[in-house]
Structure 1
Amino acid sequence: MGIEQKLGNLGIVTTNLEQVVNWARTNAMWPMLFGLACCAIEMMAAQASHYDMSRFGMELMRASPRQSDLMIVAGRVSRKMAPVLRQLYDQMPNPKWVIAMGDCASCGGVFNNYAILQGVDEIVPVDVYVAGCPPRPEGLIHGIMTLHEKVKQEKFTKWG
């Protein structure tokens, strides 16, 4: 007994354009790798076969900002690296999202000094924070799922 027998011969699917576009955005995010410290190893582990971020449509990490719509900042950001990070963020096409991975990217971590940014949100807007030092790959995947839920709720007026 299949779904065709339960529903009859309807053959009609109704939705709105925002839901279709947001579904496509969540299932085809292309992350840009920006691994700066030990969190980058955990980001690579999340991409590897054991955790397999490919099941979320993230087949590979992009090295070009013009082909990415998600920036994962993994690790501590020095004041010297901040302008480079901002320039890469500005080169990404809209809509774009940022995940701050790890305590160093979120709030400076144990590096409370003048050379390290006390959170990457000083230079780019952050959508999701992933806690941990270093965060486990499961934490990054949870952050991506949280971002997917956020993207599914977006309206076209935000980008218009």
Structure 2
Amino acid sequence: MRYEENNESADFLSFRLSSELYGVAINDVEEIRVWESPTPIPRAPYFVKGVINLRGMIVPVIDLRARFVLGDCQYLPTTVVLVLRSTAGESDRLMGLVVDAVSDVVSQGESELYPAQGDSVVTSYMHGVLNVGDEVMSLLDTEALLNIGEILKAE
């Protein structure tokens, strides 16, 4: 099974959370921003770090390491916020995801996309896994990640 959009091989932006490699469809990436502390939101779930102003739009910021329970969150010089866009119906949704570091743009090419295995916090957000060199990259579903109803239910 191949991850296909418009019958073309997909490209993904790969990034790191702890020692794990993840990816999102490059078409869903609106912007990559240097880490800066967002404005906190009172009574938000522990993994919602706050909001940022992106050219006049208020964008919520979620720490994926905290969301996926991958250990303590340390904000280092390599830490970035991936601003992703998801189109739900007729409206666009933007959200920032804090990740440890951006790695590279990866093309699926002829590689096979394998279904997600196991039962973890991450599995419900995955399209599947893809071999990238000697590593396995977990491909995340942007629409599932940006589903605010699920985010609020998680707390």
Q: Which bin holds the TM-score, normalised by the shorter protein?
A: under 0.3
- Give the structure with the larger helix fraction: 1
* The structure with more radius of gyration: 1
- Relative contact order higher in (CA < 8 Å, ≥ 6 apart): 2
TM-score w.r.t. length of structure 2: 0.26
- Give the structure with the larger strand fraction: 2
